[in-house]
Amino acid sequence: MLDPKDFEPKLEKWFKDWFEKNGKDSPMVIGVSGGKDSTVCLKLGIKYLGKDRVVPVLMPNGTQADIQDSIDICKEFGVEPITVNIGTAYNALFDAINIGKDLNECKVFTTNTPARLRMATLYGIAAAVNGRVVNTCNLSEDYVGYSTKWGDATGDFSPLAKLTKTEVVALGDYLGISEKWTHKVPSDGMCGKSDEDNMGFTYETLDAYIRDGLPPKDFETMQRIDRMHNHPNTAKKLVVFDVFDPEK
């Protein structure tokens, strides 16, 4: 595992250089989900750019079980979020797509559409404030395609894309973020299950395989990880944007 005390200074330089070249006076626009990835990215933006150049956005789809976490994180970090409820837009789109199929039975639609509406919201706000949208995905999620194309898989720049979930947690701890946020059970916030329940293996197992080449204890889990990584849709989800690489 990479040690944040070694790569965080390089991350700070990369982050500030990126904004110098791509948005000298622009704010960072970020969707704050209440999860550890967006929380760490929010902290990075505040530390490297200042609170006045960070635009946090909360985007519940009607209701959100852990919306209070997002509110509390922003309050703890001293930033005022914008709240945009995407529920009306989601319902209108759901009703408008009348192709003779029950969309409630289509997991791809019900899971991915809110993520894409959230990204459209972030870019709408970014257009209004001349902002730059941060991609908050990490290496572990990207490795197995656990993201939504044109949803959370996109953005203008990505500080965590070369860091495993384990390293993101370590970075959050290093930055002094409360453990209740950095060690929160990861979930997509849409299907009611944890990430690890959905994937069928733990991030600890996945990260050891990715970073250290340590295969899972059971062959079936290794096969599952390899299938997800090699699936054609996994590579397609990774749109082109600048990413920080702690090993360069």
Q: Which residues pair with 158 in a beta bridge?
A: 243
What pLDDT does 103 receive? 84
pTM flag (> 0.85): yes
End-to-end CA distance of the chain: 15
- 212: Cβ–Cβ under 8 A, 6 or more apart, which residues? 1
Q: Is the pLDDT assigned to residue 189 strictly greater than 60?
A: no
Label residue 177 by pLDDT band (50, 70, 90): very high
Q: At what angle do helices 165-174 and 36-49 cross, to 10 degrees?
A: 50
What pLDDT does 188 receive? 56
**Domain 4-191, CATH 2.40.50.140 — does that match?**
no
What pLDDT does 66 receive? 85
